[in-house]
Structure 1
Amino acid sequence: MNQKKLLVPTPHIDALQGDFAPTVLMPGDPLRAKFVAENFLEDVRQVTGVRNMLGFTGTYRGKSLSVMGSGMGMPSISIYAHELFSLYGVESIMRIGSTGGLQDRVQMNDVIIAMGASTCSNVNRHRFMGGDFAAIADYCLLETSVQKARELGIRHHVGNIVSGDLFYDPRGMELFRQYRKMNILGVEMEAAALYGVAAELGKRALCLLTVSDHIFTGESLDSEARQNSFTDMIKLSLETAIAV
């Protein structure tokens, strides 16, 4: 019992040391993590399942990769990213999630490669001693993902997104119109925190997002499609992971 406790570093992840690959793909939905593991990885094994936040490790084209859910929101991804980076030897985390599109040129099922992540949250101000931290992606991951998207013929956009604390924001369309004016491509709830954790710990992070709904046109995918599709984004993240 005592020996097992020494091998399990956190109350949030019950994997053992060495169970995670250096690169982790991180969707918000743990069932999407399971979908990726079962449909894209080989020699897969589940390595964690605390609170049903499923994590798996396998191989893709011969390279060891892991995939694990993050849950919704910046507090949740901050916990998992911090522990993976600081305790499990993970070097890179790529969030693979969904976003609400804001620009007319951003269409349903397009992939957004988040060069930066603005936020209305104070999460990174706490890390940056009250200042405004520029939450940006690791350049190597960013450049590689753009190259791979072009090679794969995936319709994509590169630019700024925004990570919000509130899904149901009382400011409503007034807020989204301001984001749109500032050329924000999409809105989601995790990337700014992931970029902040990676910077704090000297690690690498990237956020890839599939447009699952559009704020201004009202188009939207159903929950099953969100869980089991997003194939372009998944392939892009896998090809990026094995290239860096």
Structure 2
Amino acid sequence: MTQKLANSELILNPEGKVYHCNLKPEELADTIILVGDPDRVPKVSNYFDTIEVASQKREIVSHTGTYKGKRLTVISTGMGTDNIDIVLNELDALANIDFENKEIKSTPTQLTFVRLGTSGSLQADIPVDSIVASAKGLGFDGLMSFYNHTESFYSDQMIEEFVNQTQWNSKRALPYLVDCSEDLLHHITKDSSIYQGITATAIGFYGPQGRILRLDLDDQAMNEKLANFHYQHHRITNFEMETSAIYGLSKLMGHKALSLNTIIANRASGTFSTDPYAAIDSMITFALDRLSKF
């Protein structure tokens, strides 16, 4: 017999909605666009043909509707892997847990997650306003260490090479590496000019991404080390704050995931997009068109 989940583990609102995302199971589409900024949700859903659900709780805003006949949900996660842990676990629960009986369903539903974010390029040849698809997520955040069956994320030969080449400080969390969904990557990027590479996921915006304001860094050459890292044909193209957690949790739960990022800053050249909103909008329309056919 399936064990019933305690009320303290699967928390529902009085209306029967999952606690943080504030949605009922029937209000979630199987294809989900993840954005960090709550204000980006209507920028995506403005292109929908219909909107059937609009919800907000704290920084989590969600709209479910259709685009060219494809049912989609777009939801904001806020910034950082800690927020990704909340949102992806709750979205999976909406699809794979019986809320009435609080039991895990015997037949799982596979969801498709596509992150539409912003990022900084570490490579001089990846200009601002371009799009990077993350073939792999390299996590510096430590989130996966709290979950079982993650050994393969840490045992990749590339991780050992990364630790050696960058002289990774042992006081930090051990990095982990997770692949995106190969078929989703191929479908989204085929016949396009999108860059591909490893996306490093930082645990913060300032020190963890090599920025110095009033606090010194323990390794001022960190960004240079990341940019210079190489293993076979792989390199680190960019970094942001969510991708590794999306990939790790999706892999553990049996979902498909891909992260697309508009490059709004190039850390190697010190440049910043003159019109990041137009560049982001271009990524949104591109992704919606590709997703409508997936």
TM-score (norm 1): 0.87
If you compute each CA radius of gyration, which structure gives the higher value, 1 or 2? 2
After superposition, what is the alpha-carbon deviation per residue over 1:191-223, rounded to whole angstroms, capped at 9, x for unaligned? 00000110111111110000011112221247x
TM-score (norm 2): 0.73
Alignment partner of 1:205 is 2:214: no
Detail structure 1 runs of 4+ shifted over 6 Å in the superposition: none
- Could you say which residue in structure 1 is the equivalent of 2:20? 12
Q: Which amino acid aligns with 1:92?
A: T
Partners of 1:108 and 1:114 lie apart in 2 by 16
Gaps (5+ residues) in structure 1?
none
Give, in angstroms, the shift of residue 117 of structure 1. Answer: 0.9
**Structure 1 172/53 Cα, relative in aligned 2: closer, same or farther at 3 Å?**
farther
Matches within 5 A, 1:26-41: 26-38=34-46, 40-41=47-48
Partners of 1:172 and 1:212 lie apart in 2 by 24
Q: Which amino acid aligns with 2:132?
A: I
Matches within 5 A, 1:1-244: 5=14, 7-8=16-17, 10-38=18-46, 40-88=47-95, 91-128=111-148, 131=151, 132=154, 133-147=176-190, 150=191, 153=192, 155-169=193-207, 170-171=217-218, 173-182=220-229, 183-221=235-273, 225-226=275-276, 229-244=279-294
1:25 touches 1:237 (CA, 8 Å); kept in 2?
Answer: no
Partners of 2:42 and 2:219 lie apart in 1 by 33
Root-mean-square deviation over aligned CA pairs: 2.2
Partners of 2:55 and 2:223 lie apart in 1 by 37
2:129 touches 2:279 (CA, 8 Å); kept in 1?
Answer: no
Partners of 1:228 and 1:32 lie apart in 2 by 12
Q: Which amino acid aligns with 1:231?
A: D
Identity %: 22
Aligned length: 233
Partners of 1:166 and 1:136 lie apart in 2 by 22
Q: Which amino acid aligns with 2:203?
A: D
Give, in angstroms, the shift of residue 15 of structure 1. Answer: 1.7
1:15 touches 1:47 (CA, 8 Å); kept in 2?
Answer: no
